[in-house]
Amino acid sequence: MANELNFSNRKFIIGSIVTGVIIIYLIRLFTLQLMSDDYKKNADSNAFRKEIQYPSRGLIYDRKHRLLVYNESSYNIMVIMNDQRGIDTLDFCRTIGITKDFYIKRMEEIKAKTNYSRYTPQVFLSQIPSQEFSVFREKLFRFNGFSAEKRSVRHYTSGIAAHILGDMGEVSNADIEEDNYYQSGDYIGKLGVERSYEKQLRGEKGMRIMLRDVHGRTKGHYQNGKYDKAPIPGKDLMLSIDSELQALAERLLEGKLGAIVAIEPSTGEILCMASSPSYDPRLMVGRDRGKNHQRLNSDPMKPLLNRAIMGTYPPGSTFKLTQALIGLQEGSIDPTISFPCHHGFNYRGLHVGCHSHASPISLIPALGTSCNAYFCWNLYRLFSNRSRFKSTQDAMTRWKDHAVAMGFGYKLGVDLPGERRGMIPNAQYYDKAYRGRWNALTVISIAIGQGEVTATPLQIANLAATVANRGFYYIPHIIHDIRGSQIDSIYRTRHYTLVDRKWYNYVVAGMRRAVTHGTCHSANLPGIEVCGKTGTAQNRGHDHSTFAGFAPMNDPKIAVSVYVENGGWGNTYGVPLGALIIEQYLNGKLSPESAKKADAFQHKHIKYADYAR
Amino acid sequence: MPDNSPRNPAFTADWVVIVIFLALMAFGWISICGASHEIGDTDFLSWSTRTGKQLVWMSCAVLLGFVLLMVDDRYFDTLADLLYWVMIGVLFITPFIAKDIKGSHSWISLGSISLQPAEFAKCTTALALAKLINRYGFTLDNMRNLAQAAGMVLLPFALIVMQRETGSALVYLSFFLMFYREGMPGSFLFTATAAVVYFIVGIRFSDVVVPMTHTSVGEFSVLLMIWLFTAGLVRVYCPHTPHATRLFVWGGTATALALLFSHFVIPFDVAWVQVGVCIGMACYLGWQALGERAGRYTLIALFALGSTAFLYSANYTLNHILEPHQQVRVRVLLGMEESITDAGYNVNQSKIAIGSGGLLGKGFLNGTQTKLKYVPEQDTDFIFCTVGEEEGFIGSAAVLLLFLALILRLVYLAERQTTKFGRVYGYCVLSVLFFHVLINVGMVMGLMPVIGIPLPFFSYGGSSLWGFTLMLFIFLRIDAGNKPRLA
């Protein structure tokens, strides 16, 4: 019995073993359940299939509510391998127009995918247009395991405004990294407003959280859809362009390189923005997008380049408008002062040529005839005015500030991707280029918009708008209205130049003079007070033909800039094209003669030997 | 035989155990709801659902318990041998008449229901063991008696292994816990535990090398343990002798010198020196055995030699004797292999299920892991996952604590029995319950190998529920019968 008692202590050992094991298990439970949420995430990724629902993308209209871009269904043909059995493969291939070899190859590819499951739909073919799909749909019931998934693609009502509208493409890895909204395979705006208004157009994806069992089969909504989210459709855009005006602008530029930009001065809205050569935006959707893009990209004429905002050209004589304003503001000229011009500016051995006209000449006729000498004197006097400026550098800095305030030298901030800033030199630039030894005469060509000065056609149009407004501009923009939202306030803010309003009236008078008695005579439209300024931008090859103008003089509705590469005199292309644009916009149509003229210009092509390599 | 108690045993039975029993069963049914529930289904009661069936099994179990409490407790003692041999007979013929269910031949069909005799044999074996040990003059520190009792356990064990139900068979090993209580020498348990530790440590760390030597950490640690255990055993069983200190000092010095030599002179396999230490210790003890206390010294010497031999045979067993899929299971369990797809898949998914429950769980019927069938056998062997996922840490800890309370209460009840029969039987019951909880919960949490045995009162199925109810209520009846006699 003594032995018995000894063993009775073993109940404590047994009790401790049991308690010990349970304590160890409790600790294990604690670490599993409370120390990390990896298991939770793991369980969620096991069980939830997030079905993304794509919103319809916003439509795009012009300023007169004419539809430009809309969506059309396209279909992805999906296959669930587990259900795909005993179909007539030959019939299937014939129906969707593929070969049997392609069918076999595609099936192998699907099976080799990393997240392949035989129970979930896999993409067999993507982007089948709805016409082709309708044939397939009728036979779909015969093809077990195949189904269709609806996606939408962009469609364009006409072939205009490719550079403005832009296009869409599959997201790149960089896009996904930048914004986690996107997933591989999603589409994103690549160019034009599709890109700049991507966030408004795309809407918001919806999501349905479905439960998925161990075989990948869907078992219904998680929590009866409590956490599901309906897709929010994208917002429709109304662009400021007038599609008729845009079409005319594109027609006029046919066979030429160049750009036409028109702006509504009172709002900064872009009425048309044509760049030539252009392309048909309809080439950039569907299955041939890659091929077409490749072809356009390798074209030496660079049709993908939007010259209106990406082309930086010497502004030529249109830049004289800025010079007149700067001179008046800074006192180097006044409306009465005259300068001699004997076929140009001659001073200390320097000669800048000019055509023949009366001499001496004052401001308004100087603008009217586009006298080079006048503006060379202006710049010389400005830069040499030691009572106002301590040095040439100071004068140069002031000059640059004026030009920048008028929208040159920096990006204007138009709502289209890829804008270039152009070039306005400053004192430091010349100090570096000439090692500090330079004066007004060294840089005199900037007075007539040559030399280092470059600008985009948009900046020149903006200059015309600024003059039309007598001293302020709105940042030019392509957006008119975003349905259910507001356009950015930066497009509703006036930017004033450093020149007083009173001086603008003299420049306007000069521009009017150019139309009535000067270089822009062909822009003298009946019943419309057009103001304009030609430009013949010197170039290594043939001169560029340019025009900047606005109308009507006292209640400006439209400001235009035209730039035709190697078009020769400003008069040759710039002025008549600008006049046609103004006429079309203000009258809503072209007069019969004008229409004839427009046709003639459309078929007048320029040979570009430089590009024909 | 008339019961001499004045009161109905249903009132004198231990109500603490009955309440825990009912609570576990209720909790179990809720978990089965979660595990077998299909989305959108709201029917838990009809016969076609597993929850409906389980309700019937549960009612039968309660009825069975009540009936058992009415039976005269002395029948159990009287019929123990008979029942044991009848069950042995049934177990023997089962493989011949049973259908093949997933490779197991352990189910007998009786009309529309199938029963697993192995679940009921636990109970009869426990009764027969209790009767055997209750015999006058029977002690388990007598080797012959111990062998007789062990034989009684190993016979059904062997028969169940033949039915390819290794998991159920292993449960019979839990009776050795009862043997320990009844006087089986503690060194048996110590040796068995040591063997498990050697196996795990030796294999788990067999590919990590001790810095500056050519010895693996596993080998080094196990040999170190053998040296410490041997010296410790000498200290415990041969007190008041200088031998323990000598073995400790000499063994330690030799190992330390070997490490230093390997570190500063030439790196070599220190294990050779350690094996030498073990053999040296055995020789020293053998020499001592020639003098006094021969038996003890010999046994400890054998322990040292046996342990060393076991270490080297364990590696060999794992790599050459076990089947490849068993090797994988062992490696996955020891964390040496990440196998998400094959052997480790079930355990990984069940860990995800439990881990995703968090503190409060996802709520009743909201578990995604279990409901969407990511966890296999989720309403039987892996039922604890559902508790973990839907009821969280609070719920699963409560279940574990209920089991702890039940087992400790049974220890208390067993200890208060007036007869050795009652006490032995009580320990049998609690040992079996403990073994099931240990293996089942450990397996679900990835601490134990995957051995398919049910969680008592929780897992779906009539056989196991009735088997446990039978065992538990027979004990409660014996206990209730004791009380009036005590008074």
B333 pLDDT more than 80: no
Q: Based on the domain organization, do B177 and B279 belong to the same domain?
A: no
Nearest CB neighbour to B408, from listed A15, A33, A219: A15
Q: What is the b/e burial string over B180-197, where b = at least 16 CB atoms within 10 angstroms of the residue's CB?
A: bbbbbeeeebebeebeee
Please report the sign of the dihedral spanned by the C-alpha atoms of residue A110, residue A115, residue A116, residue A119: negative
Report the pLDDT averaged over residues A333-343. Answer: 90
Question: Final residue of a domain: which of A151, A182, A198?
Answer: A151
Give residue B121's pLDDT: 92
Nearest CB neighbour to A42, from listed B181, B183, B356: B356
The listed range with the strongest mean pLDDT (B291-300, B377-386, B455-464) is B455-464
Question: Final residue of a domain: which of A87, A120, A151?
Answer: A151
A611 pLDDT more than 70: no
A88: tokens are 């007539």
Q: By percentage, how much of chain A surpasses pLDDT 70?
A: 97
Question: Final residue of a domain: which of A190, A221, A239?
Answer: A239
| CA atoms of A264 and B97, how far apart (whole Å) | 97
- Cα-Cα-Cα-Cα torsion A10, A11, A17, A21, nearest 10 degrees, comes to 170
Q: Based on the domain organization, do B379 and B443 belong to the same domain?
A: yes
Report the pLDDT averaged over residues A511-518. Answer: 91
Q: By percentage, how much of chain A surpasses pLDDT 90?
A: 50
Q: Which of residues 181-220 of A touch B (CB under 8 A)?
A: 211-214, 219-220
| CA atoms of B274 and A101, how far apart (whole Å) | 68
Q: How many other β-carbons are positioned within 10 Å of the β-carbon of residue A282?
A: 16
Any domain includes B53: yes
Report the pLDDT averaged over residues A494-506. Answer: 94
Q: Given 3-state DSSP classes, what are the helix, strand and coil percentages for chain A, each rounded to the nearest 5?
A: 40, 20, 40
Give residue B102's pLDDT: 66
Give residue B7's pLDDT: 62
Q: How many other β-carbons are positioned within 10 Å of the β-carbon of residue B302?
A: 13
pLDDT tens for A561-584 read 999 999 888 888 999 999 999 999
Give residue B344's pLDDT: 64
Any domain includes A363: yes
Report the pLDDT averaged over residues B195-217. Answer: 79
- Expressed as residue numbers, the domain containing A570 is 243-278+305-608
Any domain includes A6: no
Cα–Cα nearest to A463, from A400, A403, A551? A403
| CA atoms of B143 and B165, how far apart (whole Å) | 29
Q: Based on the domain organization, do B114 and B215 belong to the same domain?
A: no
ipTM of predicted complex? 0.86
Please report the sign of the dihedral spanned by the C-alpha atoms of residue A352, residue A357, residue A358, residue A364: negative
Q: Which of residues 185-204 of B touch A (CB under 8 A)?
A: 186
Report the pLDDT averaged over residues A265-288. Answer: 90
Q: Which of residues 409-448 of B touch A (CB under 8 A)?
A: 411, 414-415, 427, 434, 437-438, 441-442, 445, 447
Q: For residue A612, what pLDDT band results from cuts at 50, 70 and 90?
A: very low
Give residue B27's pLDDT: 92
Any domain includes B199: no
Quick one: closest CA in B to A10, which residue?
B181
Non-local (6+) Cβ contacts of A206 within 8 A are A52, A53, A54, A55, A228, A229, A230, A231, A232
Helix ranges (DSSP H) in A474-573 = 501-517
Q: Pairing state of beta strands A122-129 and A67-79?
A: antiparallel
Q: Which of residues 229-268 of B touch A (CB under 8 A)?
A: none
Q: Based on the domain organization, do A182 and A132 belong to the same domain?
A: no
Domain harbouring A542, CATH code:
3.40.710.10
Any domain includes B487: no
Q: Based on the domain organization, do A310 and A188 belong to the same domain?
A: no
Q: By percentage, how much of chain B surpasses pLDDT 90?
A: 27
| CA atoms of A133 and A96, how far apart (whole Å) | 8
Give the Å distances, CA to CA, from B96 to A38, A66, A375, B91, B101. Answer: 48, 86, 117, 10, 13
| CA atoms of A375 and A318, how far apart (whole Å) | 12
pLDDT tens for A401-444 read 999 999 999 999 999 999 999 999 999 999 999 988 888 888 99
Mutate to test the interface with A, among B140, B190, B370, B404 (most CBs of A within 10 A): B404
Q: Based on the domain organization, do B388 and B276 belong to the same domain?
A: no
Radius of gyration, alpha carbons of chain B: 26
Report the pLDDT averaged over residues B352-365. Answer: 84
Give residue A1's pLDDT: 40
Q: Based on the domain organization, do A230 and A364 belong to the same domain?
A: no
Mutate to test the interface with B, among A32, A35, A227 (most CBs of B within 10 A): A32
Mutate to test the interface with B, among A5, A22, A40, A48 (most CBs of B within 10 A): A22
Q: Based on the domain organization, do A401 and A318 belong to the same domain?
A: yes
Q: Based on the domain organization, do B102 and B251 belong to the same domain?
A: no
Are A548 and A561 in contact, with CB atoms under 8 Å apart? yes
pLDDT tens for A137-157 read 888 878 877 877 777 788 899
> Which residues pair with residue A70 across a beta bridge?
A155
Q: Based on the domain organization, do A234 and A258 belong to the same domain?
A: no
Radius of gyration, alpha carbons of chain A: 34
A3 pLDDT more than 60: no
* Subunit contact A34:B358, Cβ cutoff 8 A: yes
Q: Based on the domain organization, do A347 and A202 belong to the same domain?
A: no
What one-character DSSP code corresponds to residue A454? B
| CA atoms of B333 and B354, how far apart (whole Å) | 17
Report the pLDDT averaged over residues B93-99. Answer: 83
Q: Based on the domain organization, do A511 and A449 belong to the same domain?
A: yes
Q: For residue A181, what pLDDT band results from cuts at 50, 70 and 90?
A: confident
Non-local (6+) Cβ contacts of A410 within 8 A are A404, A421, A422
| CA atoms of B427 and A10, how far apart (whole Å) | 12
Q: How many other β-carbons are positioned within 10 Å of the β-carbon of residue A267?
A: 16
Q: Based on the domain organization, do B219 and B261 belong to the same domain?
A: yes
Interface check for A33 against chain B (CB to CB < 8 A): the answer is yes
| CA atoms of B449 and B436, how far apart (whole Å) | 13
pLDDT tens for A471-490 read 999 999 999 999 888 888 99
Higher pLDDT, A116 or B244: B244
Question: Final residue of a domain: which of B322, B357, B372?
Answer: B322
Q: How many other β-carbons are positioned within 10 Å of the β-carbon of residue B384?
A: 29
State phi, psi for A98 to the nearest 5 degrees: -130, 165
| CA atoms of A259 and A302, how far apart (whole Å) | 13
Quick one: closest CA in B to A9, which residue?
B181
Q: Based on the domain organization, do B125 and B70 belong to the same domain?
A: yes
Q: Based on the domain organization, do A441 and A372 belong to the same domain?
A: yes
Q: Based on the domain organization, do B107 and B212 belong to the same domain?
A: no
Please, what is the average pLDDT of chain A?
88
Any domain includes B390: yes
Quick one: closest CA in B to A42, which residue?
B352
Q: Nearest-5° angle of CA A219, CA A222, CA A228? A: 125
Total domain count for chain B?
2
Query: What SS3 state is found at B92?
Result: helix
Q: Based on the domain organization, do A101 and A193 belong to the same domain?
A: no
A-chain residues within 8 Å CB-CB of B141? 3
A103 pLDDT more than 90: no
A-chain residues within 8 Å CB-CB of B441? 25
| CA atoms of B69 and B63, how far apart (whole Å) | 10
Give residue A349's pLDDT: 83
Any domain includes A423: yes
Please report the sign of the dihedral spanned by the C-alpha atoms of residue A469, residue A473, residue A479, residue A480: negative
Interface check for A43 against chain B (CB to CB < 8 A): the answer is yes
User: Which range has the worst mean pLDDT, A36-50, A63-77, A233-247, B114-128?
Assistant: A36-50
| CA atoms of A456 and A114, how far apart (whole Å) | 49
Total domain count for chain A?
3
A-chain residues within 8 Å CB-CB of B392? 33
Give residue B2's pLDDT: 45
Cis bond leading into A552, ω under 30°? Answer: yes
Q: How far is A210 from chain B (nearest CA, A)?
A: 11
Higher pLDDT, A515 or A222: A515
Question: Final residue of a domain: which of B257, B292, B322?
Answer: B322
Mutate to test the interface with A, among B372, B378, B386, B443 (most CBs of A within 10 A): B372
Q: Nearest-5° angle of CA A540, CA A543, CA A545? A: 150
Are B165 and B106 in contact, with CB atoms under 8 Å apart? yes
User: Which range has the worst mean pLDDT, A3-12, A104-113, A380-389, A505-514?
Assistant: A3-12
Give the Å distances, CA to CA, from B434 to A476, B336, B454. Answer: 82, 28, 12
Q: Nearest-5° angle of CA B168, CA B121, CA B448? A: 20
Q: How many other β-carbons are positioned within 10 Å of the β-carbon of residue A141?
A: 8
Q: For residue B338, what pLDDT band results from cuts at 50, 70 and 90?
A: low
- Expressed as residue numbers, the domain containing B363 is 9-187+336-482
| CA atoms of B286 and A584, how far apart (whole Å) | 120
Q: How many other β-carbons are positioned within 10 Å of the β-carbon of residue B24?
A: 19
* Subunit contact A212:B408, Cβ cutoff 8 A: no
User: Which range has the worst mean pLDDT, A385-389, A395-399, A464-468, B183-187?
Assistant: B183-187
Report the pLDDT averaged over residues A479-505. Answer: 92
Reported for A390-393, long-range contacts at CB under 8 A and 24+ positions apart, including other chains, are: A392/A427, A392/A438, A392/A439, A392/A440, A393/A427, A393/A431
Report the pLDDT averaged over residues A549-560. Answer: 94
Q: For residue B289, what pLDDT band results from cuts at 50, 70 and 90?
A: confident
A595 pLDDT more than 90: yes
Residue contacts between A and B (CB atoms, under 8 Å) = 124
Non-local (6+) Cβ contacts of B176 within 8 A are B153, B184, B188, B189
Give residue A613's pLDDT: 39
Domain harbouring A143, CATH code:
3.30.1390.30
Reported for B172-176, long-range contacts at CB under 8 A and 24+ positions apart, including other chains, are: B172/B122, B172/B125, B173/B435, B174/B431, B174/B432, B174/B434, B174/B435, B175/B125, B175/B126, B175/B129, B175/B428, B175/B431, B175/B432
